[in-house]
């Protein structure tokens, strides 16, 4: 008698109520044993549930977002009323298979509609022994990250692609000398399940400084690699707590928070949320806010998501220190007002910001390490002065860049700044107008506040935060008092590159230049 075969969630350890993040099949699909049916993602691991047998899908019982535990029915196959066991794959390397010896060309398998997809990582090098299913390369389109696993065991003879190459189905990846073998090459399930995220190459996103070779050889999945790139973590230095030493999301986060020591903590600690200095961090609070009052949910916009990822990485990875100071801008303000009157007919309007850009260039020339970037253990000094400025836009924070600010006049900088801020606010600014900055200024002067801690815009090593100028009582000699227009300065600096004394000197010089612009001539 025909009936239905229930395919259920297998034993998934201690996990319960795990969200379904992807469903790979639909009614009518013919599936083979081991084809993935759904992906589940807890806050600790991503698991695929493969089919325990060949079959035809009659109905899909779960949908994305459902929460499932062991025993829940995922899909029903057509067939006699029997039960089939499933088991989850938590990205553990499968055992090798055997095949006749020879030479095999490994090609890019069917990757759906994707074409000309950039190779972002190569995990192997000539001479490496690989087992069937070991990842060979990673491809990253703007929709998904895909790993292409080895179709059979063997020794890598020759690699035919390099990072940055664009490949499509059928392109030769490498040549394998085989002693073992298996099925045809197929991307792992990540390829079938495009990651719905902002493009990795989004304008403001810049990868951290990592050892690319070790990164490529580390044992980790695409999502973990993406996180490591965002956090600037060198995967080669992270100890994996997963099966067979596979690097998990929490290993990368723990490494970014507390360095190698934290990542080396036992799995039990990682399972309770990772930890630093012996104190385990608690998991992020999951609260049903609606229990306490009416709520409204709104997903973050694209720009906010990109800036959030950047700010998070920069805050977690860079050891920030902020040094506060103040500048006497009484004379500068008089000069600004005077110049604005003179320039009235030309249509140029000067705020304080263009003067600060010029003061920043002067200070950066005097203290070149503030105009540098870290590249591993090397400091790259830049002999150009491109100054970024934070602009508040309806879509979120953006940082347009004034290129070659050293060569431009203050009115030219003011005009360019207005034009760039307008483009940013209208959502028309181009990625290259936000790239190449060597130092940034974040001005809240038009709004208010006294001091704040600006977050460094990696790979820059410092940022100047400015608040609203205010009249302050000042005594030059302890006896007489005058009121001076005072500008609060907050310089955040990367303590890996800059010392506190240098930061204090930078601030003093910057303030002195604003107090008397003639100093830029010296
Ligand atoms: N002290 C006193 N007044 C100030 C000042 C300061 N430090 N900075 C600006 N002002 C004044 C300006 O002179 C102008 O006054 P007038 O209209 O009388 O001339 C007024 O405040 C408004 O200035 P503005 O903000 O329009 O112009 P700006 O050149 O100072 O700044 C821009 C341009 C694009 C940087 C700004 O509009 C902006 O977006 N600021 C927010 C930046 C931000 O979000 N930073 C936080 C990043 S971290 O999340």
- Helical pair 352-366 and 410-425, crossing angle rounded to 10 deg: 110
Within the chain, all domains assigned CATH 2.40.50.100 are found at: 4-78, 103-197
From first to last of its 522 residues, the chain has per-residue pLDDT tens of 447 888 988 877 677 888 888 888 999 999 888 788 988 876 656 677 888 888 899 999 999 889 999 889 999 998 754 444 554 444 333 222 233 357 788 888 878 778 898 898 898 999 999 888 788 988 887 666 678 888 888 899 999 999 889 999 888 999 888 764 333 333 332 322 222 222 222 222 222 233 434 444 466 776 677 677 777 777 878 888 776 677 887 888 878 766 443 333 333 333 344 455 777 778 889 899 999 999 999 999 988 998 999 999 999 999 999 999 999 999 999 999 999 999 999 989 999 999 999 999 999 999 999 999 999 999 999 999 999 999 999 999 999 999 999 999 999 999 999 999 999 999 999 999 999 999 999 999 999 999 999 999 999 999 999 999 999 999 989 999 999 999 999 999 999 999 999 999 999 999 999 999 999 887
Ligand 1 pocket, Cβ-based, cut-off 6 angstroms: 351-353, 389-392, 397, 421, 442-446, 454, 466, 468-469, 487
Q: How far apart are CA 253 and CA 266, in angstroms?
A: 14
DSSP code string of 322-379 = EEEEEEE-HHHHHHHHHHHHHHGGGT----HHHHHHHHHHHHHHHSGGGGEEEETTEE
* Residue 336 Cα: closest atom of ligand 1: 13
Distance 519 CA to ligand 1 centre (A): 24
Architecture of the domain delimited by 103-197: Beta Barrel (2.40)
**pLDDT in the model for residue 144:** 65
Q: Which of 443, 451, 485, 486 to mutate to test the pocket of ligand 1 (most atoms within 8 A of CB)?
A: 443
- Specify the residue with its C-alpha closest to ligand 1, atom 21: 446
Using CA atoms, how far apart are residues 207 and 459, in angstroms rounded to an integer?
Answer: 9
* Cβ contacts of 467-470, under 8 Å, gap ≥ 24: 468/444, 469/329, 469/333, 469/352, 469/445
Q: Which atom of ligand 1 is nearest to the CA of 452?
A: 48
Question: Selecting from 3.40.50.2300, 3.30.559.10, 3.40.605.10, 3.20.20.70, what CATH number does the domain 319-521 have?
Answer: 3.30.559.10
- Structurally, at CATH architecture level, domain 4-78 sits in Beta Barrel (2.40)
Known catalytic residue at 324: no
Annotated active-site residue in 312, 320, 474, 495: 495
Give helix then strand counts, H and E, for the chain.
10, 30
What's the Cα-to-Cα distance from 102 to each of 126, 154, 172, 182, rounded to whole Å? 16, 9, 17, 13
Q: How much is the pTM?
A: 0.58
Place of tokens 């490949």: 167
- Numbered ranges of CATH 3.30.559.10 in the chain: 319-521
């Amino acid at each position: 008698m025909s009936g239905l075969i229930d395919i259920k969630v297998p034993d998934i350890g201690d996990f319960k109520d795990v969200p379904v993040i992807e469903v790979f099949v639909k009614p009518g699909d013919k599936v083979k044993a081991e084809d993935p049916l759904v992906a589940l993602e807890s806050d600790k691991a991503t698991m695929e549930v493969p089919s325990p047998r060949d079959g035809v899908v009659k109905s899909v019982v779960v949908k994305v977002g459902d929460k499932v535990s062991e025993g829940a029915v995922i899909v029903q196959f057509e067939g006699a009323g029997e039960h089939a066991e499933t088991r989850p794959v938590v990205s553990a390397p499968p055992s090798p298979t055997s095949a006749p010896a020879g030479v095999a060309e490994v090609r890019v398998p069917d990757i759906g509609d994707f074409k000309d997809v950039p190779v972002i990582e190569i995990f192997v090098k000539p001479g490496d022994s690989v087992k069937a299913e070991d990842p060979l390369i990673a491809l990253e389109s703007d929709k998904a990250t895909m790993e292409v696993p080895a179709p059979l065991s063997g020794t890598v003879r020759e690699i035919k692609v390099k990072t940055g190459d664009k490949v499509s189905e059928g392109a030769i990846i490498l040549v394998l000398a085989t002693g073992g073998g298996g099925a045809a090459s197929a991307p792992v399930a990540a390829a079938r399940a495009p990651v719905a995220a902002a493009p990795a190459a989004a304008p403001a996103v810049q990868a951290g400084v990592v050892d690319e070779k070790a990164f490529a050889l580390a044992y980790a999945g695409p999502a973990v690699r993406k996180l490591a790139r965002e956090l600037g973590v060198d995967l080669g230095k992270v100890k994996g707590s997963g099966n067979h030493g596979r690097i998990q999301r929490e290993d990368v986060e723990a490494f970014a928070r507390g360095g190698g020591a934290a990542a080396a903590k036992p799995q039990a600690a990682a399972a309770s949320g990772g930890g630093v200095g012996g104190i385990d961090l608690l998991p992020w609070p999951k609260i049903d806010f609606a229990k306490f009052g009416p709520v409204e949910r709104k997903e973050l916009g694209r720009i906010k998501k990109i800036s959030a990822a950047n700010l998070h990485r920069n805050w977690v990875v860079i050891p920030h220190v902020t040094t506060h100071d103040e500048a006497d801008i009484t004379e500068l303000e008089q000069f600004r007002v005077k110049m604005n009157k003179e320039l009235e007919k030309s249509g140029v309007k000067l705020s304080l910001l263009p003067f600060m850009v010029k003061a920043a260039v002067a200070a950066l020339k005097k203290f070149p390490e503030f105009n540098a970037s870290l590249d591993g253990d090397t400091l790259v000094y830049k002999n150009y002065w491109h100054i970024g400025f934070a602009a508040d836009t309806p879509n979120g924070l953006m940082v347009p860049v004034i290129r070659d600010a050293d060569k431009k006049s203050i009115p030219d900088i003011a005009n360019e700044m207005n034009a760039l801020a307008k483009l940013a606010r209208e959502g028309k600014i181009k990625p290259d107008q936000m790239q190449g900055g060597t130092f940034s200024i974040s001005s809240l002067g038009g709004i208010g506040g006294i001091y704040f801690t600006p977050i460094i815009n990696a790979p820059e090593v410092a940022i100047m935060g400015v608040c609203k100028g205010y009249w302050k009582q000042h005594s030059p000699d302890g006896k007489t008092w005058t009121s001076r227009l005072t500008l609060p300065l907050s310089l955040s600096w990367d303590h890996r590159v800059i010392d506190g004394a240098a930061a204090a000197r930078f601030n003093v010089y910057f303030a002195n230049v604003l107090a008397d612009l003639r100093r830029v001539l010296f």
